[in-house]
Amino acid sequence: MVVGLGAGEALPVTKGEGEEVIGGTINQQGLIHVRATRVGADTALARIVALVQEAQTSKAPIQALADRISGVFVPVVLGMALLTFATWYGLCLAGVVPDSWIEEGMDSFLFSFLFAVSVVVIACPCSLGLATPTAVMVGTGVAARLGILIKGGAALETAHKVSAIIFDKTGTLTNGKPVVTDVLRVDAACAHLDIDERAFFTLVGAAESASEHPLGKAIHAHALLHGALHGDASGQPLPQPRDFQAIPGRGLSCHVGEFGVFIGNRLLMRDHAFSVPDHVESFMASLEEEGKTCMLVAFVRDSNGMSASLLCSGRTS
């Protein structure tokens, strides 16, 4: 059996004017005006809650079988309990049961009644009718807390037959947190501006320290991992970014020390007349075929020309 699954976007999606947003949408910069089109029971969250509640109260196909069996099993068990009571009570009245078997403070009726209760407890007819709905309620509840929505008991019952799962979005298979996986620096360009590996990550990490974008945070964390933001060799604190500007749909620009730093996509590079070498384009294309997102980094020294390097940021899979 094959089941197809689809989850949300692998990465945050930028929304523009007139587009629909839902609860949990983050306004990263600027002013936003939102018009509520659904409130109360009409919201997406309310519909999800209703779906979980409906799933918990729905009957699985096997529960119908359990109900039919219970309809016969319960009367049989109760009949056997009555028969047990009548048998033992009759034996007590006939004097077959020794008086030593009956404890002090207990009469023949209570002695026989305990045997009847034991039959009902051991047979436990209630468990047959309660096991399935309890399992459905617990299963759907636990799944909902883990972010998995199950439409009802029938889907839950069928799950054990699944032999293959088809995912229609790569985001379904990720951790949901972008990380840097590959880095390519244009050595010749960096050497022209006297930017070694440590300086490279220092400038990039300092620039992204002011960013709220998920990819920016991933790049900043990667720079921290390389020790770029722990200060220079003399132990002096690193400079803070100046003139920071987040450009929606493109990236960011700022100044760090004597360098202007631009981090973003191809549109940002094109807007500022930065050329991307052919081997860099080929490298980016190969990463993008793997489902990764690439970010370009360009440096401009205030007093001496410009240089372009590449920082590739991808998500784990």
pLDDT tens digit sequence for 127-141 = 666 777 777 778 878
**pLDDT score of 310 more than 60:** no
**Model pLDDT, residue 294:** 87
Task: Clarify whether 243 is annotated catalytic.
Answer: no
The residue from 42, 67, 99, 168 that is catalytic is 168
CA distance 42 to 24: 16
**Model pLDDT, residue 12:** 62
Phi-psi region at 176: left, alpha or beta (left = phi > 0; alpha = psi -120 to 50): left
38-85 pLDDT, tens digit per residue, is 777 777 778 777 777 776 676 777 777 777 777 788 888 889 999 999
**Model pLDDT, residue 85:** 94
**Model pLDDT, residue 238:** 58
17-37 pLDDT, tens digit per residue, is 778 877 667 766 666 778 887
* Confidence band for 198, pLDDT divided at 50, 70 and 90: confident
**pLDDT score of 257 more than 90:** no
Write down the pTM of the prediction: 0.52
**pLDDT score of 7 more than 50:** no
Domain ranges across the chain:
1-14+26-173, 178-315
CATH number of the domain at 178-315, please? 3.40.1110.10
185-195 pLDDT, tens digit per residue, is 887 777 777 78
DSSP codes, the chain: -EEEE--S-SS-----TT----TT----SS---------GGGSHHHHHHHHHHHHHHSPPHHHHHHHHHHHHHHHHHHHHHHHHHHHHHHHHHTT-S-GGGSPTT--HHHHHHHHHHHHHHHH-HHHHHHHHHHHHHHHHHHHHHTT-----HHHHHHGGG--EEEES-GGGGS-SSEEEEEEE--HHHHHHTT--HHHHHHHHHHHHTT--SHHHHHHHHHHHHTTTTS--TT-PPPPPPEEEEEETTTEEEEEETTEEEEEE-HHHHHHTT----HHHHHHHHHHHHTT-EEEEEEEEETTEEEEEEEEEEEE--
List phi, psi (to 5°) of 100: -70, -20
Mean pLDDT of all residues belonging to the chain: 77
